[in-house]
Amino acid sequence: MTDNGQSTAASAYTLPPLGQNPSTTAAGTTPGSFAKPPVIAPGVEGAYTFASPDTPGMPEPSDKTAWDFLPEGWESEIICMQATPIDASHDFALDPPDRNWETVAPLMEGRECVGGVSLFSHSGGVWRAVFFPESFQPNTQLEYARLGYITPEMERVAEREPHLTAAQVRDEVAAGRMVIPANKVHLQHQLDPMAIGRASKTKVNANMGASPVSSGTDEEVEKLKWAERWGADTVMDLSTGGNLDECREAIIQNSTVPIGTVPIYSMIIGRKLHDLDADVILSSLAHQASQGVDYFTIHAGVLKEHLPLVKDRLIGIVSRGGSLLAKWMLDHDAQNPMYTLWEDICDIMREYDVTFSIGDGLRPGGLADATDKAQLAELVALGELTERAWRKGVQVMIEGPGHVSFDQIEYNMKLQRQLCHGAPFYVLGPLVTDIFPGYDHITSCIGATSAAYHGASMLCYVTPKEHLGLPKKDDVKQGCIAYKIAAHAADVALGIPGTRDADDELTKARAALNWEKHFELSFDPDTARAYHDEDLDVDTDFCAMCGHDWCSVRISKEIVQFASGKDENYGWNKAKVTAALTPEQQAILQQRGVLSPEELHKLASKTKKAVGAASGDKAACHSDYVDSDTAKSLQIIEHVV
């Protein structure tokens, strides 16, 4: 097309406002992200950090943050001044960090609480003074952030999230938009601190746990390591059977990722639900916190007054914790004890720096019940509980639905952003249809992609066994991969810096038809290699999908005017017979059932030893390299056979 033709084509459309390019080098020809331009700022100005454009009618972000819900006796004020910043290496002795009393003293005049004062600069250069009782000592990541400190855990998060500085991590935690689930006990084991929040990359949680009829401690630890292998950022132990204490301790001591639990499961093991009382609740929480659990799902937002709203649902209450507490409230004609004990629970959480994952006990279990009055009434209560927890210095994230039709997902995400003042949203799916049991890892990761794009910070995976049984090892892998796809797709769409870099590198390898690099850069190299070799076990300038003559990528590479396929880092010279399949790759193809045992054996036996070659020599019947014609003939033979 001529230059004039290009101009004519460009004038026929208008691009929407652009966000940030997710490619570090702005590689390729795409204009970049269509998300909102990110604003990483310490106050309400940061509410749109990595956010989708709002569809008309969507709820606005809250005009409050965790700074608006300080403990009694605290005050905070934004100031414009010069002062000595807090040293990140400070030993956390509050006496106070800032010594510039000539500057600070005037700010303290007329205040009832003249005790400790912290003066620090936010990441954007704005200065904040925080006044607090003189006897106060911080114990949680939120409390340290409120006083301006950058903890070792915040520094580690910044290392893992290179688009953020440690100061920005600190500011997001202080605003309540980010949590670092890191129990002080778990930090003494293998925990590698991470963050959950919309300013960070989208995280994935994997659920596991023994049931009364399936699995045990050893199998659950094996599934833990398997989930970590396939990218789970956190793991929830949902055990309801076996030795719960033993299983929980084993998982915590062996995990590098944060571990969450639903403590009510343990509370009713060995006793009647009716006997659940304050002593049992608080002692159980204290015990699990002392073991090192990093976050608790507590269904405190299911209130007695919400229960009439459930009576006409097609599938009632599908949350185990929610249904148990609903029954307790009806039996006792009393309010949810988790709600009435909230401040006492907060005190336990604060002692160990356990993060709240406030449970959605009234989440919808089917599309017909989504976004109903019961679900939204509970969400309002979760906003109140968030404020109360922040006043106690405890980190908070919120759990969300469930089963939600695709058109309602954005509203659900943005209503939570408003009612819970930007606290990280942790959602299950949501599933966007109900008629695909056995494939719900797919139906839900579709919804999860949309949820993350519209504001969710962490996605709880769904496996193929959802609604059907306890997931086994391969189910864990399939769930993790489906949700890594959802999380990564959302991060790229949101324009989080650097998130598309790996995609661009693989695209360069694909354009160069460099199969070895193609597989090396993929998320699951074994599966990619096995699927390729199933049809053609030669790395050459085409694949079995199109063959040589019809390969558009090969043709584009041959056109000298195109840059496609010409990156010198991905060049290669000769077609190459691939190496023998590994046992993992053999298992993948065996499970597919496409190839015969003899064909699998052939792919698995392509080694010098297998074909009778002496050490250091090549077998007469085997060559590492083939020419293009031979590769084409190999493909023909494969298809004829």
Q: Could you tell me if residue 338 is left (phi over 0), alpha (psi between -120 and 50 degrees) or otherwise beta? A: alpha
- Size (the chain), residues: 641
Task: Return the number of other C-beta atoms located less than 10 Å from residue 547's C-beta.
Answer: 15
**pLDDT by residue (tens digit) across 541-586?**
888 788 888 889 888 888 888 989 889 888 887 777 878 888 888 8
Residues 6+ apart with CB under 8 A from 398: 357, 358, 360, 382, 386, 416, 420, 423, 424, 425, 426
Instruction: List residues bridging with 121 in a β-sheet.
Output: 127
Instruction: List residues bridging with 246 in a β-sheet.
Output: none
Q: Which two tokens stand for residue 37?
A: 């331009």
| Separation CA 597–CA 209 (nearest Å) | 36
- Can you list the alpha helix ranges (DSSP code H) found in 472-610? 473-494, 501-511, 515-520, 525-535, 552-558, 583-592, 597-604
**Residue of 522, 527, 530, 486 whose CA lies nearest to 506:** 522
Note the pTM of the prediction, 2 decimals. 0.88
Q: Which two tokens stand for residue 87?
A: 């040293």
The per-residue pLDDT for 577 is 80
Strand 538-539 versus strand 575-577 pairing type:
antiparallel
Amino acid in position 197: G
Omega cis (within 30) before 38? no
| Separation CA 462–CA 482 (nearest Å) | 8
**pLDDT by residue (tens digit) across 320-339?**
999 999 999 999 999 999 99
42 with 175: CB under 8 angstroms? yes
The per-residue pLDDT for 2 is 52
Q: Which domains does the chain have, with CATH numbers?
A: 66-178 (no CATH), 179-494 (3.20.20.540), 501-640 (no CATH)
Buried b (16+ CB within 10 A) or exposed e, 214-251: ebebebbbebbebbbebbbbbbbbbbbbbebeebbebb
The per-residue pLDDT for 620 is 35
According to DSSP, residue 97 is labeled S
**Residue of 301, 266, 302, 268 whose CA lies nearest to 286:** 266
Sign of CA dihedral 273, 383, 448, 484: negative
| Separation CA 149–CA 178 (nearest Å) | 15
| Separation CA 170–CA 192 (nearest Å) | 17
According to DSSP, residue 125 is labeled S
| Phi, then psi, of 206 in degrees rounded to 5 | -115, 130
Instruction: List residues bridging with 76 in a β-sheet.
Output: 130
Sign of CA dihedral 243, 471, 488, 359: negative
According to DSSP, residue 219 is labeled H
**pLDDT by residue (tens digit) across 406-439?**
999 999 999 999 999 999 999 999 999 999 999 9
| Separation CA 96–CA 114 (nearest Å) | 12
| Separation CA 397–CA 382 (nearest Å) | 10
**pLDDT by residue (tens digit) across 587-617?**
888 888 787 888 777 777 764 443 333 344 4
For residue 608, count CB atoms less than 10 angstroms from its CB and return exposed for 0-12, middle for 13-18, buried for 19 or more. middle
CA 275: distance to chain centroid?
Answer: 37
Which stretches of the chain score pLDDT less than 70?
A: 1-7, 80-115, 213-215, 606-641
Element (H, E) at 291: helix 278-291
Coil/strand/helix, residue 294:
coil
528 with 522: CB under 8 angstroms? yes
Q: Which two tokens stand for residue 118?
A: 């912290």
**pLDDT by residue (tens digit) across 78-117?**
886 444 444 433 333 333 444 445 555 555 444 444 468 8
Crossing angle for the helix pair 342-352 and 373-391, nearest 10 degrees? 60
| C-alpha dihedral, 412 to 297 to 469 to 331, nearest 10° | -100
CA 113: distance to chain centroid?
Answer: 40
For residue 28, count CB atoms less than 10 angstroms from its CB and return exposed for 0-12, middle for 13-18, buried for 19 or more. middle
Instruction: List residues bridging with 132 in a β-sheet.
Output: 116
Element (H, E) at 576: strand 575-577
422 with 356: CB under 8 angstroms? no
For residue 346, count CB atoms less than 10 angstroms from its CB and return exposed for 0-12, middle for 13-18, buried for 19 or more. buried
Residues 6+ apart with CB under 8 A from 545: none
**Residue of 128, 535, 158 whose CA lies nearest to 117:** 128
